[in-house]
Amino acid sequence: MAAPTFQALPGFRDFIPSECAVRNYLFDTWRSVARRCGYVEYESPILEDTGLYLKKSGGELSSQLFRFEDQGGRDVTLRPEVTASLARLVAEHQRNFPKPLKWFEIGQCFRYEKPQKGRGREFHQFNVDILGEAGPAADAELISLAIETMLAFGFVEGDFVVRASDRNAWIDFASRNGVADASMADFLNIVDKIEREKPEALAQKLAAFSLTIDQVRAFIADPANASPAYLAIRDDLTARGLGGFIELDLSIVRGLAYYTGVVFEVFDSKKSMRAVAGGGRYDTLVATISDGAVDLPATGFAMGDYVIRNLIEETTHAAMQMEVWLQRNAAACDVFVVVADETKRPEALKLVTDLRRAGVSADLPLGAAKVAKQFQSAEKSGARFALIVGAEYPELKLKVLSSRAEESCNASSAVDWLTDRLQQPDGPLLA
Amino acid sequence: MAAPTFQALPGFRDFIPSECAVRNYLFDTWRSVARRCGYVEYESPILEDTGLYLKKSGGELSSQLFRFEDQGGRDVTLRPEVTASLARLVAEHQRNFPKPLKWFEIGQCFRYEKPQKGRGREFHQFNVDILGEAGPAADAELISLAIETMLAFGFVEGDFVVRASDRNAWIDFASRNGVADASMADFLNIVDKIEREKPEALAQKLAAFSLTIDQVRAFIADPANASPAYLAIRDDLTARGLGGFIELDLSIVRGLAYYTGVVFEVFDSKKSMRAVAGGGRYDTLVATISDGAVDLPATGFAMGDYVIRNLIEETTHAAMQMEVWLQRNAAACDVFVVVADETKRPEALKLVTDLRRAGVSADLPLGAAKVAKQFQSAEKSGARFALIVGAEYPELKLKVLSSRAEESCNASSAVDWLTDRLQQPDGPLLA
């Protein structure tokens, strides 16, 4: 066959039903964990004034933007991340909400990067933030949600770990060693790349601050350098029974300039130590975005859909949990109505309508077909039951498709009977 | 206060939590109706090759596109609608699916129009399509879903009506009156504007086809011009008990050129006869998009979020149903843990964690506060229960916030006890 005329753009995904089901599994899990931890959902626009992103990040993402001029001559950008919009929304609306705000968003973001395994030009992101609470209790509450999310996906202790640090610990270290405040961002950027940079280049860059690699490594290695905020978070998580999931790792400072205090990343501990999620405190961003109109401390994290999905698929127990969910949700319907006698189609149509109205997922063939073929369609649909409407109407037959067990019932009581049947232990396939 | 530095772009909405909840009500209703009618969910990319839209519509939407060149020099467009992408996806993947395909998508679309009440530059759209079935049974199945969706929102007979027509009836009429096949699209465009165009201009345009307004009006007025497909659909819907919701209205032809047969619109019958949804058959689009590689008959409709929301809010019984849903879903949590003795915070943290792990939505204050203030926070959160952790720990007090009724329990059994309590008739607030 010839290549299709049009294809999805490079780095953009077509979510055919099987892929969309995986997406829904991630979204449903994210949403339900966030809600049971007391977060409420919001959504910011996908397209924003480009200035918002430039102001927030100081241009860090500016080479990766889907940026263009709209028909009204505005400089606009498909959101590369959500936090800038959140700061804008909160600055405008915060006076209407009791503090702290615990908000989450599940949405798509766009970055013009080289597409590769585990990275596209669009991705879905779970964003969770607490605004209006400056103390470490908020960071602990936030990190506990990151942990609960991993547990909800079926991961267990040993599968992952939260590595946390505190930029304030680094700022203390740098100040003690004579680094000027104005150079702090540059210094933190060097620390951020410490694991990736070649030793000679690193040594040279540190030398500009009269520091050595050994000094920096020694600082990272000494647990006594844990900040008071880190210790408070660790104690809080320990009280929750989550102490085993957090580790001090001072090598983490996070790339973006807007972080101000505790920062953390959730790591896959078995494989390549990939970061599954990351975040931290950004106490000055709301003031920056609102030009000082609103000053609100904040802490937040984001988890993208690419890495978490790969990690689920590579981890047997998490993969099995997803598989069970997908199987339950892959069916197109619970009840497939077989029209064994085409003259009874009107009755079959009424029955399907009544079933659906009662909340039962039901379907039927749209054209005349042999009964055997209809049963094939029923199997393919993933339905649990076939309900046969034939010459004996109003007597109906119900077949359990897995066991071929058969029962009879009358059309007048079919809806109640099936609703009942679907409430039995193995339940409906579709939520 | 000074105006905020950044604002949402004109025509773009900030979904703060109360607005996001309304969005979720629409999405949840759309999704659950589609699933119980046997449709499976997919999602196409938000950004596509511009050529896809130009090829589909012949440029009808081209003045309203958010169109730009990406960093790789591609001519790309934020989707103005979803059907072109669907045709692309289906052409590529259809051989892996039994026919007919019954697919739905809930997604955002973008059109550069003048923002006004009931119309923005972005909107969410519920798209439902059946592909691979040419007969009117598919159109009836599709229209029944449009009707079931309205009923699921709480609308009743008399609130809305589906007005259906058939482009084939018009093509017959035009052919009988000597309109050449090559001019058919122009002719249908004139018919499409018949209610909006000034009589003189209309008469002049029809004269070019040697037709008069009276001839066209007489054709529209005569029920004998209903096409066989329309009649089959009406009979099918009547068998389902939905016959009262459909009316013949030959004045409907739908603007877009790609429609090929039965077309329909769902109208609000009380107010200004606004179209809430619209769609129809497009049997040639998949072949057009795939350059003939795949030929699949299709029928589909779309419902946008602006008009349906306005209609719900203006219709008392539908508005009340939404209000009940929003109230149940507006709470930030079901159980608010009050820390009456700050030395017991570790115990409170553990309790909150255990409740959440058991699926109960629970929250607690992140800092020390007076008990009275914590009760205010509990009220504001919308929780049903306050669970008080004080000096008497492990004895706990549970307060029903609406009635102030109080019970006691032991911390060791608190999770089971609350789970039980939330299963009682008034149930949990959060799904």
A285 Cβ under 8 Å from any chain B Cβ: no
Q: What is the pLDDT of residue B62?
A: 81
Query: Which of A240, A281, A360 is the best mutation test for B, with the most CBs of B within 10 A?
Result: A240
Q: ipTM, 2 decimals?
A: 0.95
> Is the N-terminal amide bond of A394 cis, ω within 30° of 0?
yes
Tell me: pLDDT of B55 over 60: yes
Tell me: pLDDT of B1 over 50: no
Q: What residues of chain B lie within 8 A of the CB of A98, using their CB? A: 377, 380
Q: List all residues 6 or more positions away from B278 whose beta carbon is below 8 Å from its beta carbon.
A: B254, B263, B264, B265, B266, B301, B302
A46 with B108: Cβ contact below 8 A:
yes
CB-defined contacts A:B, below 8 A = 259
Q: In chain B, list all ranges with CATH 3.40.50.800.
A: 333-422
Share above pLDDT 90 across residues of chain A, in percent, rounded to a whole number: 84
Q: What is the pLDDT of residue A331?
A: 85
Give A307 to chain B, closest Cα distance, Å. 20
Please give the residue of chain B at the shortest CA–CA distance from A9. Answer: B48
Greater pLDDT, B230 or A402: B230
A289 with B6: Cβ contact below 8 A:
yes
A332 Cβ under 8 Å from any chain B Cβ: yes
Query: Which of A19, A35, A53, A150 is the best mutation test for B, with the most CBs of B within 10 A?
Result: A35
User: pLDDT tens for residues B309-362?
Assistant: 999 999 999 999 999 999 888 889 999 999 999 999 999 999 999 999 999 999
Tell me: pLDDT of B60 over 70: no
Q: Which two tokens stand for residue A94?
A: 């915060």
Angle of CA points A87, A92, A96, to nearest 5°: 110
Q: What is the pLDDT of residue B3?
A: 53
The pLDDT of B159-167, averaged and rounded, is 96
Q: What residues of chain B lie within 8 A of the CB of A100, using their CB? A: 366
User: pLDDT tens for residues A226-269?
Assistant: 999 999 999 999 999 999 999 999 999 887 778 999 999 999 98
C-beta separation of A160 from A245 below 8 A: yes
Helix axes B414-422, B345-357, angle to 10 degrees: 50
User: pLDDT tens for residues A384-425?
Assistant: 999 999 999 999 999 999 888 899 999 999 999 999 888 775
Q: What residues of chain B lie within 8 A of the CB of A141, using their CB? A: 366
B386 Cβ under 8 Å from any chain A Cβ: no
A99 Cβ under 8 Å from any chain B Cβ: no
Q: In chain B, list all ranges with CATH 3.30.930.10.
A: 17-325
User: pLDDT tens for residues A63-91?
Assistant: 899 999 999 999 999 999 999 999 999 99
A175 pLDDT band (50/70/90 cuts)? Answer: very high
User: pLDDT tens for residues B258-313?
Assistant: 899 999 999 998 867 689 999 999 999 999 999 999 999 999 999 999 999 999 99
B352 with A24: Cβ contact below 8 A:
no
B-contacting residues in A 252-281 (Cβ below 8 Å)? none
Say if domain A17-325 classifies as CATH 3.30.930.10. Answer: yes
Q: What is the pLDDT of residue B431?
A: 46
B14 Cβ under 8 Å from any chain A Cβ: yes
Complete edge-to-edge strand list for the sheet that includes strand A75-78: A47-49, A75-78, A66-69
Give B159 to chain A, closest Cα distance, Å. 18
Q: What residues of chain B lie within 8 A of the CB of A347, using their CB? A: 239
Q: What is the pLDDT of residue A195?
A: 82
The pLDDT of B131-153, averaged and rounded, is 98
B112 with A5: Cβ contact below 8 A:
no
Give A374 to chain B, closest Cα distance, Å. 12
Q: List all residues 6 or more positions away from A85 whose beta carbon is below 8 Å from its beta carbon.
A: A44, A45, A48, A52, A79
Identify any residues that bridge with B106 across adjacent strands, giving them in sequence order.
Answer: B126
The pLDDT of A16-33, averaged and rounded, is 97
CATH number of A333-422: 3.40.228.10, 3.90.105.10, 3.40.50.800, 3.40.50.2300? 3.40.50.800
User: Running DSSP on this structure, what letter comes out for residue A43?
Assistant: B
Angle of CA points B25, B27, B33, to nearest 5°: 100
Give A198 to chain B, closest Cα distance, Å. 31
User: pLDDT tens for residues B76-100?
Assistant: 999 999 999 999 999 999 999 999 9
User: Residue B262 in 3-state DSSP?
Assistant: strand
The pLDDT of A190-209, averaged and rounded, is 90
A333 pLDDT band (50/70/90 cuts)? Answer: very high
Q: What is the mean pLDDT of chain B?
A: 93
A306 pLDDT band (50/70/90 cuts)? Answer: very high
Nearest CA-CA partner of B162 in B62, B268, B82, B63: B268
Nearest to B350 among A130, A240, A350 (CB): A240
Helix (H) or strand (E) holding B122: strand B122-131
Query: Which of B1, B6, B130 is the best mutation test for A, with the most CBs of A within 10 A?
Result: B6
A3 pLDDT band (50/70/90 cuts)? Answer: low
Q: What is the pLDDT of residue B422?
A: 85
Query: Measured between alpha carbons, how far is B311 from B272 in angstroms, rounded to an integer?
Result: 10
Q: What is the mean pLDDT of chain A?
A: 93
A46 with B46: Cβ contact below 8 A:
yes
Give B62 to chain A, closest Cα distance, Å. 12
Sign of the alpha-carbon dihedral angle for A202, A208, A214, A218: negative
Q: What is the pLDDT of residue A58?
A: 62
A23 Cβ under 8 Å from any chain B Cβ: yes
B138 Cβ under 8 Å from any chain A Cβ: yes
User: pLDDT tens for residues A88-118?
Assistant: 999 999 999 999 999 999 999 999 999 888 8
B296 Cβ under 8 Å from any chain A Cβ: no
Nearest CA-CA partner of A386 in A368, A369, A406, A366: A406
